[in-house]
């Protein structure tokens, strides 16, 4: 339903219920800007100050210490399943347990995790989650997003929410009654008819995922990204630094590369001129994610060789920087 940030706001209506004593939200320091904007605006909407109510964590390892220090005042933990910038995967199951032990609600933006990592949101006891379908789920920019609500909340009709006709119980929806009766589960958070043309590529993509299976895709992804990291270290010593964690359990397909000498933008432009499609993120990172559905070892090899061939006046050695 909807798109990711819209779903975030709709879900926070239900799952961010701040009080004077418990009003803080824990988020990544370098979360995707839309998440930062949305969360800060929700804090202001409830009459609090983001300078006081927004608590940032540096990385996965920082979560436990922050919750131990701030936990009694935390209303919501909202983190990315995979950080868009560094590519670090957050260890969701223990984070949920830590957050719940402190009395907080725990949700995740899994935009960079859906279709990238095996997700067990129900089994991990995640309260809610939202995602887009135009990254690893291959449905194209602006395609319909998705939302998850744990079943223990799905039937809680007393939860405050913004409602619409499409979220009404299917058995009586077309009776057009005056009183809203929500569909059970996440469907009860829907507002309006979904756009059929935007759903079409989502359906095709999900059918492919269902046929192949996320476990097989993840196994290939670990091998290809591992090979990618090895090539970067062997072929580009002193030229490029991988800032994504090396442990496969702490990352998805993506590697974030920082080019030494502050010439990352020039390198990215050179790669683009060579017909290589990757991604630039300010201030200094090239993101490359071999997607296992259609990327393999040869693609990774060609990418690293292209980096290696870029002239020295574009990539400066660390010794010269």
Instruction: Specify whether 46 is located in the same domain as 119.
Output: yes
Specify the length of the chain in residues: 321
Instruction: Specify whether 99 is located in the same domain as 227.
Output: no
pLDDT exceeds 60 at position 320 = no
Q: What is the pLDDT of residue 318?
A: 38
Q: What is the pLDDT of residue 8?
A: 97
Instruction: Specify whether 15 is located in the same domain as 117.
Output: yes
Instruction: Specify whether 247 is located in the same domain as 293.
Output: yes
Number of domains into which the chain is organized: 2
pLDDT band at 238 (very low <50, low <70, confident <90, very high): confident
| CATH code where residue 168 lies | 3.40.640.10
Three-state secondary structure readout of 228-254: HHHHHHHHCCCCEEECCCCCHHHECCC
pLDDT band at 312 (very low <50, low <70, confident <90, very high): low
Q: Give the predicted TM-score (pTM) of the model.
A: 0.93
Q: Is residue 314 part of a domain?
A: no
Q: Is residue 303 part of a domain?
A: yes
Of 51-60, 173-182, 292-301, 308-317, least confident by mean pLDDT is 308-317
Say how far apart CA 124 and CA 150 lie, in whole Å: 10
Q: Is residue 316 part of a domain?
A: no
Q: What is the pLDDT of residue 236?
A: 92
Q: Is residue 318 part of a domain?
A: no
Average pLDDT over every residue of 160-167 = 95
Instruction: Specify whether 169 is located in the same domain as 255.
Output: no
| CATH code where residue 289 lies | 3.90.1150.10
pLDDT exceeds 60 at position 27 = yes
CB 215 within 8 Å of CB 118: yes
Beta-bridge mates of residue 129: 108, 148
Q: Is residue 83 part of a domain?
A: yes
Instruction: Specify whether 188 is located in the same domain as 260.
Output: no
Say how far apart CA 248 and CA 24 lie, in whole Å: 31
Instruction: Specify whether 24 is located in the same domain as 106.
Output: yes
**What separation in angstroms does the CA of 251 have from each of 61, 83, 247?**
14, 9, 7
Instruction: Specify whether 219 is located in the same domain as 184.
Output: no
Say how far apart CA 132 and CA 45 lie, in whole Å: 24
Q: What is the mean pLDDT of the chain?
A: 93
Query: Which of 205, 226, 249 is a domain's end point?
Result: 205
Q: What is the pLDDT of residue 316?
A: 53
Helix (H) or strand (E) holding 297: helix 297-309
Query: Which of 181, 205, 229 is a domain's end point?
Result: 205
Instruction: Specify whether 66 is located in the same domain as 195.
Output: yes
Q: What is the pLDDT of residue 313?
A: 63
The pLDDT tens digits for 55-111 are 999 999 999 999 999 999 999 999 999 999 999 999 999 999 999 999 999 999 999
Query: Which of 205, 240, 259 is a domain's end point?
Result: 205
3-state DSSP: the chain helix, strand, coil percent, rounded to 5?
A: 40, 15, 45
CB 184 within 8 Å of CB 269: no
Range of the domain at 287: 214-309
């Amino acid at each position: 339903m909807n798109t990711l940030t819209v779903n975030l706001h709709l879900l926070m209506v239900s799952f961010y219920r701040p009080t004077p004593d418990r009003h803080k939200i824990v988020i990544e320091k370098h979360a995707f800007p839309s998440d930062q904007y949305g969360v800060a605006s929700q804090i202001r909407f409830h009459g609090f100050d983001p300078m006081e109510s927004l608590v940032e964590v540096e990385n996965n390892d920082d979560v436990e210490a922050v919750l131990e220090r701030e936990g009694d005042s935390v209303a919501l933990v909202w983190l990315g399943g995979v950080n868009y910038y560094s590519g670090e995967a957050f260890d969701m199951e223990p984070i949920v347990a830590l957050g719940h032990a402190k009395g907080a609600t725990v949700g995740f933006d899994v935009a960079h995790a859906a279709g990238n990592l095996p997700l067990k949101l129900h089994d991990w006891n995640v309260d809610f989650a939202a995602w887009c379908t135009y990254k690893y789920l291959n449905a194209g920019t602006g395609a319909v997003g998705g939302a998850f609500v744990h079943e223990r909340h799905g039937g809680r009709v007393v939860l405050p929410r913004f409602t619409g006709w499409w979220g009404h119980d299917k058995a009586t929806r077309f009776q057009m009654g005056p009183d809203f009766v929500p569909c059970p589960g996440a469907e009860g958070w829907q507002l309006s008819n979904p756009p059929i043309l935007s759903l079409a590529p989502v359906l095709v993509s999900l059918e492919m995922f269902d046929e192949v299976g996320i476990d097989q895709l993840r196994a290939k992804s670990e091998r290809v990204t591992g090979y990618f990291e090895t090539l970067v270290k062997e072929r580009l010593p002193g030229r490029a630094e991988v800032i994504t964690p090396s442990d496969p359990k702490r990352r998805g397909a993506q590697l974030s590369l920082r080019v030494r000498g502050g010439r990352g933008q020039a390198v990215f432009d050179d790669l683009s001129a060579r017909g290589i499609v990757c991604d630039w993120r300010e201030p200094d990172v090239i993101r490359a994610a071999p997607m296992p559905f259609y990327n393999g070892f040869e693609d990774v090899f060609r990418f690293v060789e292209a980096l290696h061939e870029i002239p020295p006046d574009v990539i400066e050695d660390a010794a010269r920087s």
